[in-house]
Amino acid sequence: MRADLVIRGGRVFTAEPSHPFVDAVAVSGGRIAAVGADAVVMAGRGTNVIDLGGTLATPGFIDAHVHPASSGLDKLRCHFDDAVDAESALETIAAYGAANPSLPWIIGAGWPQSWFVKGCPSKELLDRVVPDRPALITNSDGHGAWANSRAFEVAGIDPDTPDPADGRIERLADGAPQGTLHEGAIRLVERHAPEDTVDDVLAGLVRGQEELLGYGITGWQDAIVDPKLQEAYVRLAGEGRLKGRVVGAMWWDRKGGMEQVDELVARREMAAPGFSPTSVKLMVDGVCENFTASMLDPYLGDDGEPTGNRGIDFIDPKELKAIVTALDERGFQCHFHAIGDRGVRNCLDAVEAARERNGPSDHRHHIAHIQVVHPDDLPRFAALDVVANAQPLWACNDDYQAELTQPFLGPTRSGWQYPFGSLLRNGARMGMGSDWGVSTANVMEEVDVAVTRTGESGQPLNPAEAMDPIDALTAFTSGSAFINHAEADSGSVTVGKLADLAVLDRDPLREGPLREARVVCTIVGGEIVYEGR
Ligand SMILES: [Zn+2]
């Protein structure tokens, strides 16, 4: 038999533990037809041959926690990929406004707080480049936004406007808005801006998919799917333009009640080839940096002494048990967001309650982020069949750690952060994801941190938790395929599986650093969907 495509001349990482590397792979009819020497002989007339020239090919990566539509939409709007400081940010906004004269609002995202005094840019600064219409531009972590005078006018915000319960308007001495909005106060302005249409979301999704394919990502779990995004996925798939293989995690509205379960059952039917909305996203706590991650023991104060604050359970733990038990019974997978050690424990307790009531299931509930995990809970992942869904890019000593996290956790709990090595040693299954747009979607940068535990500071974070590169690549391929119930068809280079592959520009396992490796070719079902240089 002759192959449609043969990849040879380097190494192919298979993600199969019994033979992690082969030297060639052959593709026929969109599936993997042979590996190793059997593959090489399948090249004939008409076969497309990719010569690796000593580089590495891998299974297509699978991102187990990502937000491609909103992050793609950010890239289509005013964004700051090419800006380096306040001045260039203003030039960027001015250019975007000039290029889009008919837009009623200037909407954008992605400025870092470090570009502005106290992280709070003024409305006058924005007025200089957008004097004529409202502008609202979110910062890079999404917890703050910058608005101009027109936006405050339209929203009716003046010195008499009270702060909302869940946010704060930055103010001048006379109480007038200064230009920056924090947390829930963003909504005061945002609700006056035109709402995203399904067409907007679809355009964002297309741009997001392009980004993911460029990093060799051929499948993912979308971590927040609302009805509009669901419609966008179904439309994209119907038009034959959805290239990735996607599981959607539908958002659980924590202000809504148990009647959501029936609604989600109905929404699950709105699927399409390549898009399965079979997971439900439950956000159980916040983040450490603003003390909203749910902790077993209190955060420390500036003096290093315990405060009374243990963070927030966004979903009451008793209620969480009932929700997870009901979802598990109706065949859903639960995709948890948990950052604090109590948040993680609440998720495990909820799955335990579901197991006691419903017996074992194959729904593959998974906890994303797993920043602080109490050592007692490490073996419970394997015992309860809960998959660890790691976002490894954060597992390094960056400014967030040194300034905003470790002083308030203290040394013991700081040492429990991102315990990927311990989870594996305790038998946990692990998948990986990026959380793009909070982080980059670049898989190899993430794998690098999983292995080195080191970011720009050069000081590793809890180096005993470092992973072997093979384990990290396995988590990002077959581990995440398991989370998505996709292992029969993807996640490894195995004869009979779909030909989803990524080709790198080097063999980073032989010539590091891992983070510098680039994807030069992405293949989905035997079709080349991305080619770079
Ligand atoms: Zn996320």
Across residues 61-73, what is the average pLDDT? 97
Give the pLDDT of residue 460: 95
Distance CA 445, CA 515 (A): 4
Dihedrals φ, ψ of 248, to 5°?
Answer: -100, 135
Give the pLDDT of residue 493: 98
Distance CA 342, CA 232 (A): 36
Distance CA 441, CA 439 (A): 6
Cβ proximity of 178 and 43 under 8 Å? no
114 Cα: distance to centroid of ligand 1 (angstroms): 23
66 Cα: distance to centroid of ligand 1 (angstroms): 6
233 Cα: distance to centroid of ligand 1 (angstroms): 18
Give the pLDDT of residue 110: 92
Q: Is residue 244 predicted with pLDDT exceeding 90?
A: yes
169 Cα: distance to centroid of ligand 1 (angstroms): 25
45 Cα: distance to centroid of ligand 1 (angstroms): 46
Token pair of 118 as six digits: 């106290």
**pLDDT category of residue 289 using cuts at 50, 70 and 90:** confident
Give the pLDDT of residue 300: 96
31 Cα: distance to centroid of ligand 1 (angstroms): 32
Cis peptide before 68 (omega within 30 of 0): no
Token pair of 239 as six digits: 């038009």
Give the pLDDT of residue 512: 82
Cβ proximity of 482 and 491 under 8 Å? yes
Facing residues of 524 across strands?
527
338 Cα: distance to centroid of ligand 1 (angstroms): 11
90 Cα: distance to centroid of ligand 1 (angstroms): 28
Give the pLDDT of residue 410: 97
Q: Is residue 34 predicted with pLDDT exceeding 90?
A: yes
441 Cα: distance to centroid of ligand 1 (angstroms): 12
Give the pLDDT of residue 492: 98
**pLDDT category of residue 255 using cuts at 50, 70 and 90:** confident
Give the pLDDT of residue 268: 98
Other Cβ atoms within 10 Å of 296 Cβ, number: 17
Across residues 206-221, what is the average pLDDT? 98
Distance CA 4, CA 155 (A): 59
Q: Which residues contact 303 (CB under 8 A, 6 or more apart)?
A: none
358 Cα: distance to centroid of ligand 1 (angstroms): 28
368 Cα: distance to centroid of ligand 1 (angstroms): 8
Residue 276, helix vs strand vs coil: strand
Across residues 510-527, what is the average pLDDT? 96
**pLDDT category of residue 142 using cuts at 50, 70 and 90:** confident
53 Cα: distance to centroid of ligand 1 (angstroms): 37
Distance CA 178, CA 379 (A): 50
Query: SS3 helix, strand, coil % of the chain, rounded to 5?
Result: 35, 25, 40
117 Cα: distance to centroid of ligand 1 (angstroms): 28
437 Cα: distance to centroid of ligand 1 (angstroms): 8
Dihedrals φ, ψ of 431, to 5°?
Answer: -115, 170
435 Cα: distance to centroid of ligand 1 (angstroms): 5
**Angle at the Cα of 65 from the Cα atoms of 225 and 326, rounded to 5 degrees:** 60
More confidently predicted of 216 and 439: 216
99 Cα: distance to centroid of ligand 1 (angstroms): 31
Give the pLDDT of residue 295: 97
Q: pLDDT tens digits for 295-330?
A: 999 999 999 999 999 999 999 999 999 999 999 999
335 Cα: distance to centroid of ligand 1 (angstroms): 11
- pTM beyond 0.85, yes or no: yes
223 Cα: distance to centroid of ligand 1 (angstroms): 6
433 Cα: distance to centroid of ligand 1 (angstroms): 9
Cβ proximity of 286 and 311 under 8 Å? yes
